[in-house]
Structure 1
Amino acid sequence: MRTVSAALALIGGVMCAFLLDVEEDVPAARQSVAAFPPAPTGGVPPPAGDGAQGAVARAATPTSHTRWPHGTGSFPVALSARGERYRALVEQAAREYTLDSALLHAVIATESAYDPRAVSPKGAVGLMQLMPETARRYGVSDAFDPGENVRAGARYLRDLLARFDNDVALSLAAYNAGERAVIDRGYRIPPYKETLRYVPAVLARYREIKGLPDS
């Protein structure tokens, strides 16, 4: 089994693959988890085999069939000043949805750099960059409110982990590109430039927050 750290150590060797065999952009909207079937019984398939996309997917995957634990009980040890401002909020959401708070921090740092007023060109809003349909699904009345945004984002991430058999790389890919993009590609990381950068970026930030070594 590969650990998070071991998988992250492979990323540097395949960064050039981002320039090959990839599609230009992610879909304009992220799809609701309610719209698609669950992952196949027995877990998701391994990342794509040959070519640049397969290499990046393998490097980005922290656990090739090693699943993300439910509620590790560990907490971030290295946060930016902005991150510290939201530490209590993130840890509360992590406990509520049995997530590692460091993973939530890594997603927030990558998505919005802890800017609660952030709005993407595609309409994603707030700390965890919720798309409007995701905000509606999770009952968010004000996506700019840090508490509502983080709780909904944490719940969405937990739902993705459940759908993708606790495969954190696929769940992060779905958070970025939408579930349909992952499912339509045989439960593999979709070959979008943004997504192929996003998954390793979140995992690298996770390692940094946890204070894990580079290799």
Structure 2
Amino acid sequence: MIRVPVLVLSSILASSAFCAHADIFRVVSADGSITLTNIQRSDRKLVRVAREKPLLAKAPSLVQPIRKGKTKAPRYALIVAQAAFDYELPAELLHAVIQTESNYDPSALSPKGAAGLMQLMPDTAKDLGVQDVFDPAANVRGGARYLKRLMTMFDNDLSLALAAYNAGPGTVLAYGSAIPPYPETQRYVPSVLGHYQRLQADAKRPR
């Protein structure tokens, strides 16, 4: 037990709120003196003045939140894998296009009207038979089919196929089967290729 003067009681209570490791009880004797104790006894009238902190108190998390774009990729892995298999394209390539086009946001809609994971334009989606561009499976399937068509059109030249995916095949042909000098397309092709190369390297790493 600890006997303390009344004048210092408040300071002890204040500190106990921060460092208490057991419940603290107050006992007032007949002479007016105050006793603080952590021993609870039934023969005394005790008043709890500080409570022990929970042993399982949650510590502050040191883990940084993960960006949304990184958490969405696995959600569509099966959809992408199936579309890649059906249209004989690398799954990493489809993931690279999706990451560049929409960052895995199935509800993405561009000012020009491109929609969904692979940002299909309305006319393109209609031509591909995609009825709901915001349905992830239908969108990825349509995008994969379109990309395969462009790869065939440009003799499997991936850079030209990606340029056509962004700017349209007619535009690529109009510039003599070269990447059009549009700033957006000039940024788009290296962006997709960069993601594609990184994903290929990740896939080859030992697990």
Q: What is the alpha-carbon distance in structure 2 between the residues aligned to residue 104 and residue 192 of structure 1?
A: 23
Cα RMSD between the aligned structures? Answer: 1.4
Which structure exhibits the higher relative contact order, with contacts defined as CA atoms closer than 8 Å and separated by 6 or more residues?
Answer: 1
Q: Residues of 1 paired with 2:121 and 2:103: CA distance?
A: 17
Partner Cα distance (1:166, 1:80) in 2: 29
Q: In structure 1, what residue type is equivalent to 2:127?
A: R
Letter in structure 1 aligned against 2:186: L
Q: Runs of 4+ in structure 1 displaced over 6 angstroms?
A: none
Tell me how far apart the structure 1 counterparts of residues 134 and 75 of structure 2 sit (CA, whole Å).
16
Distance in 2 of aligned mates of 1:204 and 1:188: 19
State TM-score, norm by structure 1.
Answer: 0.61
Partner of 1:210: 200
Q: Percent of aligned positions with the same letter in both sequences?
A: 57
* Letter matched to residue 102 of structure 2: S
Decide which of 116, 120, 126 is 2:106's aligned counterpart: 116
Residue of structure 1 equivalent to 2:116: 126
Specify every segment of 5 or more residues in structure 2 that has no aligned partner in the other structure, as ranges.
Answer: 1-68
2-structure distance, mates of 1:123, 1:100: 27
Mapping 1:1-215, distance limit 5 Å: 80-211=70-201
State the one-letter code of the partner of 2:93: L
For each residue in 1:84-120, what CA deviation from the matched residue of structure 2 results, as whole angstroms up to 9, or x when unmatched? 1100100000000000000000000000000000000
Corresponding residue for 2:63?
Answer: none
Structure 1 position 133, deviation (Å): 0.4
User: How far apart in 2 are the matches of 1:199 and 1:147?
Assistant: 24
Q: Which has the higher strand share?
A: 2
Which of these two proteins has the greater Rg computed from alpha carbons? 2
Q: What amino acid is the match of 1:189?
A: I
